Amino acid sequence: MRNQAESLGLAAEDQMRADVYLLVGSLLFDVPREKTLKKLQTLSGDESEMGRAFDALSKLAAATNVATARREYEDLFIGMGRGELLPFGSYYLTGFLNEKPLAKLRKSMTDLGIARSEEVNEPEDHIGSLFEMMAGLIVGRYGVPLDIVGQREFFAVHIEPWAGHFFKDLEAAELSRLYQPIGTIGRLFVEIETDAFSMGS
């Protein structure tokens, strides 16, 4: 039986990229549930910085219950009025929410056939949403998989200018415990994608 990447006509490397985007995006967009924490415990890595971050995330997930994960998530991203971090492109690029970067993203979403979910209240330029969109573009969730040129353009416009800064802030956040290695994984992954896209240009 063919694996998911083969059935979609995707290279294994592209499926792996989509998996990382989806994993990081889902952890940033919502509180980890029990099933998610158990899945994180199965992760492992090599001796690279990325591998060590996956190992750290696995160990922290094993030592974290849902209530603790929820409290950390809310302290980091929600808080009383606002959390320690505001994970939105408009905020990182302009200092304010709902600014021009969000309008540009909404136009890109329309052009690419990406519909806003009616169940989501957050602005679409949330880092979790952007990572989930990128995963969808790679695997063809919004139609056929987007070619590498289109992927590079979406990444360069909506993710690259600010995501690395956000992930560094997440790594260093006073309230980050479970989310500290997620920050590391995100930072390194953005660097890897930036380098790969630049080599392909």
Q: State both tokens at 146.
A: 């987007």
User: How confident is the model at residue 117, as a pLDDT?
Assistant: 83
Give per-residue pLDDT as tens, 130-167: 999 999 999 999 999 999 999 999 999 999 999 999 99
Q: Is pLDDT above 50 for 182?
A: yes
Q: Is pLDDT above 90 for 81?
A: no
On average, the pLDDT of the chain sits at 93
The rounded distance, in Å, linking the Cα atoms of 28 and 77 is 9
Residue 88, phi then psi, degrees to nearest 5: -125, 140
User: How confident is the model at residue 7, as a pLDDT?
Assistant: 43
Q: State both tokens at 108.
A: 């890109």
Mean pLDDT score, 89-117: 96
Give per-residue pLDDT as tens, 55-78: 999 999 999 999 999 999 999 999
119 — pLDDT class (breaks 50, 70, 90): confident
Q: State both tokens at 75.
A: 């302290």
CA-nearest of 43, 31, 92, 53 to 182 is 53
Where is average pLDDT lowest: 79-83, 106-110, 147-151, 180-184?
79-83
Q: Are 116 and 123 in contact (CB under 8 A)?
A: no
User: How confident is the model at residue 201, as a pLDDT?
Assistant: 57
Domains of the chain and any CATH numbers: 10-200 (1.10.3480.10)
Q: Is pLDDT above 80 for 100?
A: yes
Mean pLDDT score, 116-130: 91
- The residue type of 25 is G
Q: Is pLDDT above 60 for 3?
A: no
User: How confident is the model at residue 188, as a pLDDT?
Assistant: 98
The rounded distance, in Å, linking the Cα atoms of 177 and 147 is 37
The rounded distance, in Å, linking the Cα atoms of 102 and 90 is 6
> Which residues, at least 6 apart from 116, have a Cβ–Cβ distance to it below 8 Å?
106, 109, 124
Q: Is pLDDT above 70 for 80?
A: no
Give per-residue pLDDT as tens, 7-55: 457 899 999 999 999 999 999 999 999 999 999 999 999 999 999 999 9
Mean pLDDT score, 161-178: 97
The residue among 2 and 98 whose pLDDT is bigger is 98
Q: 126 has which bridge partners?
A: 88
